[in-house]
Amino acid sequence: MKRFPDLTVLQFRYALIQLNRLDWRQYLKLSNPVAVALMAKMRIAAQDRPHVQLECLRMLATLRLDPARTRLISGFINTYLRLTAAEMKQHEQEFKALSRSELEAVMEITTSWKEEGLKQGLELGRKEGRQKGRQEGRQEGRQEGRQEGRQQEALELVSRLLKRRLGAIEASLLNQVEKLTRDQLELLSEDLLDFATVADLQQWLTAHSHQ
């Protein structure tokens, strides 16, 4: 701090932290939601990206935050550590090695990403539907295409979750799943967390396929 007869000048010194120079491994043992989020922006080798994303989600699940904070942090992770198709395959292999409790907790978080995407798509469809009325139906084909796209997205999500949960599933059961409505698919994505065997899936389909 410098002083003058009629003026005092303050000096501030700030510590500069560059996330991309920090080693994510040093933060694995911290029970800190901020550290969990910022790990996604730290120095990560290309081959470690799938593993780091899974570690972030596993740590987030153990913190047991309220839903709003969980969505905020998981959204940060998904935005800044988004995986390619090839990286997702490695991610899924490591995912299977989690304990049952960790698997269910992480699956609940990743499922929420998809659900949020479906909700955004639905809202977009509603807005476009209102515009379609003013455009004298010229966008009708586009709306139908979006509905089919949301149905396909929901089906792909459920198919991946079933594969992770139960392993290989026979074609006849998959055909029944493909015939479900989007609402039924969203319900199945939640209920399958409690499935232990393929028989549980068969019972669920029997109970819901005709509703």
In the chain, which ranges are E strands? Answer: 2-4, 7-9
Question: Would residue 79 count as lying in a domain?
Answer: yes
Question: Would residue 64 count as lying in a domain?
Answer: yes
Last residue of a domain, one of 130, 155, 189: 130
Question: Would residue 165 count as lying in a domain?
Answer: no
What is the pairing mode between strands 2-4 and 7-9? antiparallel
7 against 37, higher pLDDT: 37
Q: Are residues 120 and 181 in the same domain?
A: no
The string of pLDDT tens digits covering residues 74-122 is: 888 888 888 888 888 888 888 777 777 777 777 777 765 555 554 554 4
Task: Count CA within 13 A, CB hemisphere, residue 4.
Answer: 5
Q: Are residues 121 and 183 in the same domain?
A: no
Last residue of a domain, one of 97, 130, 163: 130
User: Could you give the number of structural domains in the chain?
Assistant: 2
Identify the top-confidence range among 43-47, 98-102, 148-152, 162-166: 43-47
Question: What is the residue whose two structure tokens read 């199945």?
Answer: 188
Question: Would residue 143 count as lying in a domain?
Answer: no
Q: Are residues 58 and 112 in the same domain?
A: yes
Pick from 20-24, 34-38, 69-73, 104-108: least confident? 104-108
pLDDT tier for residue 48 given thresholds of 50, 70 and 90: very high
Please provide the average confidence, as pLDDT, over all residues in the chain.
79
Question: Would residue 69 count as lying in a domain?
Answer: yes
pLDDT tier for residue 150 given thresholds of 50, 70 and 90: confident
User: What pLDDT does residue 118 have?
Assistant: 45
Question: Would residue 34 count as lying in a domain?
Answer: yes
Last residue of a domain, one of 130, 162, 193: 130
- Mean pLDDT across 51-56: 90
Task: Say how many C-beta atoms besides its own lie within 10 A of residue 138's C-beta.
Answer: 10
Q: What predicted TM-score, i.e. pTM, was given to this entire model? A: 0.47
Question: Would residue 41 count as lying in a domain?
Answer: yes
Q: Are residues 30 and 101 in the same domain?
A: yes
Percent of the chain, pLDDT > 90? 10
The string of pLDDT tens digits covering residues 164-201 is: 888 888 888 888 888 888 888 888 888 888 888 889 88
**C-alpha torsion angle, residues 34, 36, 40, 43 (rounded to 10):** 90
Q: Are residues 124 and 183 in the same domain?
A: no
Question: Would residue 55 count as lying in a domain?
Answer: yes
Structural domain harbouring 73: 23-130
